[in-house]
């Protein structure tokens, strides 16, 4: 956990603490050696040292000089400590409490990124440390360098260049240097000032983040790592037009087709053919809007999930409709990659369509859609009651509107989606669905719930190649295989895709089956999960 931290800094602090303690013990021992000190009976260590002083002849008045010497050692060490703290990592002793007090309330930082005023902003994102708000700078000073964040970071644990601890530490060192060199930079011959991106933090570190929030979950002083990384991505994308080549294709597809897959808008509702699903135009006033999302609209494996879920809604008598051709990408990939302009365009399009349809309640089967609509659309006036499909399914089972009857015997395990779990604290409903299936026995993966391990697709990484280190989804599949459960349930289309890829890469198809929770529940109710029927076009 101490990897890459400044050992000299730690040794100096430990040395000063030891000196303060020696000075205090020396004073007490010298006072006892002078005689008549009643504290000798309850100060065993100081009394033992006093006996050593006596053996050296430091008795009575002779111990006064020793007392004075230890007094000044103690005082000077305390003063040195106070002088050194502001320029060391131990400044957290002073600033950690106010940092926790001024934490963001409401949706967690990272679940709802701060919007940019695109018309009036002086800069887009952050490229110099002084562009951050005072709270972000307080975060930098608050870091204890304990390393808890790096021990949970999936990118760090799979050999990527990203270390969330060092993102904060390097930014703090850059802040110290920026403030120290500010007067000199005004000279005509002054060297170029250091930037945050490139000089302090490398681009590979910035792009390795999967925005899973594991670092923030572990931080004892509530530092917000993810928004800082997203700020730097915004600067790279919006100010320098620098981003991974594969991400460019996804962004262009969202802009032109309304989905990162690059498939025609006209195919968005093909998955629903033959199911009798109505649009908001055909069924105005529906209780729920089912926001299908891009994956369930275009990816074949996830289309099967949407069909299974719709069959369950119909069986339970849920009144719902879809936006149909008016639905477009929620914008999460664009925002996490750093293209805030494209995100806002997508968000406003969806909000306009929902407003026109007078939508009040929304169901989302994709945690990224769920998080964006619930936590980020309100920034632009889109306020809705949003539920994830696992929450609704768990509720329908409890109410008796869905009755799993066919046994699916054996061990199940469940993979926690980061955007459902850590960012939105939804852990129990998916597990309640599994436990409602006759014969199912739930076992947990070693990293689960708040300490769950990302599938590797978050933060826009679904649309980028993973070229450095071990693939995150391969690591997660290995963790899942160690449970020896033959079935794993997901609640996110990206997680499903990453698991399918990881299982195939490991040649573990015979040992591990992956499906969405809705598919397992449909199998228990209908006897067979609904199959995808493809259509031409």
Alpha carbon distances (Å) from 350 to 193, 269, 333, 347? 42, 16, 15, 5
DSSP calls for 463-512: GS---SSS-HHHHHHHHHHTTT-SEEEESSHHHHHHHHHHHHHTT-TTT-
Return the structure tokens found at 220.
């004892």
Which domains are assigned to the chain? 7-87 (no CATH), 96-240 (1.10.1060), 259-397 (3.40.50), 403-526 (3.40.50)
Using CB atoms within 10 Å of the CB of residue 177, give its burial: 0 to 12 exposed, 13 to 18 middle, 19+ buried.
middle
Q: Round to whole Å and give the CA distance between 231 and 206.
A: 10
Smallest CA-to-CA distance from 497 within 377, 366, 397 is with: 366
In the predicted model, is pLDDT for residue 194 greater than 90? no
420-446 confidence digits (pLDDT tens): 999 999 999 999 999 999 999 999 999
The DSSP bridge partners found for residue 490 are: 516
The confidence score (pLDDT) of residue 526 equals 76
SS3 assignment for 191-236: CCCCCCECCCECHHHHHCCCCCCHHHHHCCCCCCHHHHHHHHHHHH
In the predicted model, is pLDDT for residue 231 greater than 60? yes
Q: Are strands 361-364 and 385-388 parallel, antiparallel or unpaired?
A: parallel
Using CB atoms within 10 Å of the CB of residue 300, give its burial: 0 to 12 exposed, 13 to 18 middle, 19+ buried.
exposed
The DSSP bridge partners found for residue 410 are: 440
In the predicted model, is pLDDT for residue 203 greater than 80? yes
The pTM score is: 0.87
**CA 344 to chain centroid:** 21
Q: 462 or 62: whose pLDDT is higher?
A: 462
Return the structure tokens found at 359.
């939508």
pLDDT level of residue 49 (50, 70, 90 thresholds): confident
- 309-324: average pLDDT: 96
| Residue 216 CB contacts under 8 Å (≥ 6 apart), including other chains | 108, 109, 110, 149, 222, 223, 224, 225, 226
Strand ordering across the sheet containing 385-388: 320-321, 288-291, 361-364, 385-388
Q: What are phi and psi of 156, to 5 degrees?
A: -65, -40
The confidence score (pLDDT) of residue 537 equals 32
In the predicted model, is pLDDT for residue 516 greater than 70? yes
For residue 254, count other CB atoms closer than 10 A to its CB: 28
For residue 93, count other CB atoms closer than 10 A to its CB: 14
The confidence score (pLDDT) of residue 379 equals 96
- 307-327: average pLDDT: 96
137-189 confidence digits (pLDDT tens): 999 999 988 999 999 999 999 999 999 999 999 999 999 888 876 665 555 55
| Cα radius of gyration (the chain) | 29
| Residue 489 CB contacts under 8 Å (≥ 6 apart), including other chains | 412, 413, 414, 415, 430, 434, 514, 515, 516, 517, 520
pLDDT level of residue 531 (50, 70, 90 thresholds): very low
- 8-32: average pLDDT: 85
Q: Round to whole Å and give the CA distance between 224 and 100.
A: 11
Q: Which residue has the tokens 């209908």?
A: 526
The confidence score (pLDDT) of residue 5 equals 64
For residue 24, count other CB atoms closer than 10 A to its CB: 17
In the predicted model, is pLDDT for residue 41 greater than 90? no
In the predicted model, is pLDDT for residue 3 greater than 80? no
Alpha carbon distances (Å) from 332 to 114, 187, 259, 426, 528? 13, 44, 11, 19, 33
pLDDT level of residue 11 (50, 70, 90 thresholds): confident
Q: Round to whole Å and give the CA distance between 79 and 487.
A: 61
The confidence score (pLDDT) of residue 362 equals 98
How high does pLDDT run on average in the chain?
A: 90
Strand ordering across the sheet containing 513-516: 440-442, 410-414, 487-490, 513-516
Share of the chain above pLDDT 90, in %: 74
Return the structure tokens found at 158.
């799979």
- 95-105: average pLDDT: 92
Q: Round to whole Å and give the CA distance between 151 and 164.
A: 10
Strand, coil or helix: 433: helix
Q: Round to whole Å and give the CA distance between 467 and 446.
A: 26
Smallest CA-to-CA distance from 433 within 515, 322, 535, 325 is with: 515
């Amino acid at each position: 956990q101490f990897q890459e931290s400044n050992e000299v800094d730690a040794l100096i602090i430990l040395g000063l603490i030891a000196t303060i303690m020696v000075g205090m013990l020396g004073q007490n021992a010298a006072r006892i050696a002078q005689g008549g000190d009643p504290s000798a009976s309850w100060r065993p260590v100081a009394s033992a040292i006093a006996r050593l002083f006596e053996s050296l002849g430091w008795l009575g008045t002779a111990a006064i000089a020793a007392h004075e010497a230890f007094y000044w050692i103690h005082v000077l060490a305390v003063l040195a400590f106070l002088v050194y703290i502001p320029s060391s990592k131990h400044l957290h002793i002073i600033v950690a409490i106010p940092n926790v007090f001024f934490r963001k309330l409401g949706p967690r930082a990272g679940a709802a990124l701060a919007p940019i005023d695109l018309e009036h902003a002086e800069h887009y994102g952050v490229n110099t440390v002084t562009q951050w708000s005072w709270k972000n700078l307080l975060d930098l000073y608050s870091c204890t360098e304990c390393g808890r964040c790096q021990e949970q970071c999936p990118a760090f644990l799979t050999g990527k260049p990203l270390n969330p601890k060092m993102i904060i530490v390097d930014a703090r060192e850059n802040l110290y240097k920026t403030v120290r060199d500010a007067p000199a930079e005004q000279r005509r011959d002054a060297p170029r000032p250091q930037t945050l991106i490139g000089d302090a933090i490398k681009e590979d570190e910035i792009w390795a983040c999967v925005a899973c929030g594991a670092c923030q979950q572990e931080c004892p002083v509530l530092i917000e790592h993810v928004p800082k990384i997203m700020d730097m991505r915004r600067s790279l994308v919006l100010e320098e037009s620098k981003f991974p080549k594969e991400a460019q294709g996804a962004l262009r597809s969202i802009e032109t087709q309304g989905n990162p897959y690059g498939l025609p808008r006209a195919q968005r509702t093909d998955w629903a053919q033959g199911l009798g699903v109505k649009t908001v135009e055909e069924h105005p006033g529906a209780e729920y809007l089912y926001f299908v999302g891009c994956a369930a609209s275009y990816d074949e494996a996830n289309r099967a999930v949407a069909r299974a879920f719709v069959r369950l809604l119909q069986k339970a008598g849920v009144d719902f409709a879809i936006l149909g051709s008016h639905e477009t990408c929620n914008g999460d990939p664009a925002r996490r990659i750093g293209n805030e302009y494209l995100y806002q365009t997508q968000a406003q399009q969806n909000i306009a369509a929902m407003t026109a349809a007078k939508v009040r309640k929304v169901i989302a089967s994709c945690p990224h859609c769920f998080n964006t609509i619930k936590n980020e659309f309100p920034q632009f006036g889109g306020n809705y009651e949003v539920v994830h499909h696992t929450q609704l399914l768990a509720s329908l089972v409890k109410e008796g509107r869905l009755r799993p009857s066919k046994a699916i015997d054996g061990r199940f395990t469940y993979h926690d989606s980061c955007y459902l779990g850590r960012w939105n604290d939804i852990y129990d409903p998916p597990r309640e669905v599994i436990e409602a299936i006759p014969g199912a026995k739930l076992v947990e993966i070693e990293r689960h719930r708040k300490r769950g391990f990302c599938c590797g697709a978050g933060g826009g990484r679904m649309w980028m190649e993973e070229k450095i280190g071990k693939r995150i989804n391969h690591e997660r599949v290995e963790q899942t295989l160690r449970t020896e459960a033959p079935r794993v349930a997901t609640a996110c289309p990206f997680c499903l895709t990453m698991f399918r890829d990881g299982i195939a890469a490991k040649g573990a198809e015979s040992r591990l089956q992956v499906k969405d929770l809705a598919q397992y529940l449909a199998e228990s109710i209908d006897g067979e999960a609904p199959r995808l029927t493809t259509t031409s076009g």
